[in-house]
Amino acid sequence: MVMNINMNNIRIFMKVAEKMNITEASKELFISQPAVSKAVKNLEKSLNIKLFIRDKQNGLMLTEVGKEILILARQMKVFENKIYQVADRENKLLSGKIKVGSFPAVSTNILPKTIALFRSKYPLVNIELVEGTSNQIKEWVEDRTIDMGIVASPFDPYEFEILNNDYMVAIIPENDRLIQEKKIDLDKYQNEIIFCKGGHEIAISKIFQKNNIEFKENLTVQNAETLINMVKNNLGIGIISKFTLSSVSHKLIIKDINPRITRDIGIITHSFDEVTPATKEFINIMNRFHKPELFSAR
């Protein structure tokens, strides 16, 4: 059976799935609510499936098959974007949109220079930046919400290109009793450690396991600013990546730790061969012009 899918209905479906609200979707699309509802119904009819259900408590919800169709619809959108970008490239005029996922330290240290250089060369390409933890970014790459992500290792199961290396350090107040210590022994002070969750928990737990150190989550926080404030108030020894620490201001003392914990920072995508021309050029510029001296382990 030959099935003709209306791409406009697909776009409307994607917006409704994003907002989970017909009214909000219609406002963003600048079309009437009945037109939005009709487009979704027409798509359901053409596919002979139910994409949404209405729940009394949670409102509009995607069906299981609706979730699968949404991922495929995003893939269709990527390929549609790629077709136009390939045509524009042939005409020496790259345009379109790139959706990039990164964690805050990357947004502060790497992306401003990359975006500035990219925009000076390709002013017609729109860049959308979405921030989250490495784990969140991997989920966005998985369901194709974004074209590419910049995350901390491990990178499986995605294709990846390593930008540079990173390592963990300890931070303590200026007047701390450990000020004379050359390195902070994690085994000795494991009961005082404050961890910053940001996607490097796997690297930490592996090193702890390898060195027979008990991994105690005495106090864990979600971002660097909170960790710094906890340490300032003498609540413990902060353990954080050097790269992340370089993106926030503080007046704390930085100490090496024992054992050493390293990780990589890299670009991930489903396939570098399948990304759009604009995304490929963005990655090339990032690889060419990022400054590894800002965060590489020395």
Residue 276 predicted with pLDDT over 50:
yes
Q: Residue 100: give its domain's CATH number.
A: 3.40.190.10
Q: Would 221 be classed as within a structural domain? A: yes
Query: What is d(CA 198, CA 152) in angstroms, rounded to the nearest whole number?
Result: 9
Quick check: 128 and 81 in contact, CB under 8 A?
A: no
Q: Give φ, ψ of 231 to 5 degrees.
A: -70, -40
Four-CA torsion 115, 117, 120, 125, nearest 10 degrees: -40
Its sign, for the CA torsion 138, 141, 143, 145, is: positive
Q: Would 56 be classed as within a structural domain? A: yes
Query: Both 260 and 284 in a single domain?
Result: no
pLDDT category at 89 given cuts 50, 70, 90 is confident
pLDDT at residue number 43: 92
Query: Both 145 and 272 in a single domain?
Result: yes
Q: Would 1 be classed as within a structural domain? A: no
pLDDT at residue number 294: 40
Query: Both 210 and 279 in a single domain?
Result: no
* Higher pLDDT among residues 203 and 15, named by residue: 15
pLDDT category at 198 given cuts 50, 70, 90 is low
Q: Residue 258: give its domain's CATH number.
A: 3.40.190.290
Query: Both 259 and 269 in a single domain?
Result: no
Q: Residue 59: give its domain's CATH number.
A: 1.10.10.10
Query: Both 127 and 274 in a single domain?
Result: yes
Query: Both 38 and 128 in a single domain?
Result: no
Q: Would 2 be classed as within a structural domain? A: no
Q: Would 39 be classed as within a structural domain? A: yes
Q: Would 62 be classed as within a structural domain? A: yes
Query: Both 232 and 271 in a single domain?
Result: no
Query: Both 46 and 90 in a single domain?
Result: no
Query: What is d(CA 88, CA 79) in angstroms, rounded to the nearest whole number?
Result: 14
Query: Both 172 and 260 in a single domain?
Result: yes
Number of continuous H segments (helices) and E segments (strands) in the chain: 11, 12
Q: Would 272 be classed as within a structural domain? A: yes
Q: Which helix (H) or strand (E) holds 193?
A: strand 193-196
Enumerate residues 6+ apart whose C-beta is below 8 A from 120: none
How many domains does the chain fold into?
3
Query: What is d(CA 285, CA 120) in angstroms, rounded to the nearest whole number?
Result: 12
Would you list the DSSP string of 146-175?
SSEEEEESP-TTSEEEEEEEEEEEEEE-TT
Which one, of 205, 235, 199, 240, lies nearest residue 218 by Cα?
A: 235
Query: Both 92 and 12 in a single domain?
Result: no
Quick check: 32 and 23 in contact, CB under 8 A?
A: no
Query: Both 283 and 149 in a single domain?
Result: yes
pTM over 0.75: no
Query: What is d(CA 241, CA 144) in angstroms, rounded to the nearest whole number?
Result: 28
Residue 27 predicted with pLDDT over 70:
yes
Residue 200 predicted with pLDDT over 70:
no
Query: What is d(CA 149, CA 270) in angstroms, rounded to the nearest whole number?
Result: 10
- Domain enclosing residue 248, as ranges: 166-264
- Give the chain's mean pLDDT: 87
Strand partners for 195: 220, 239
Query: Both 158 and 126 in a single domain?
Result: yes
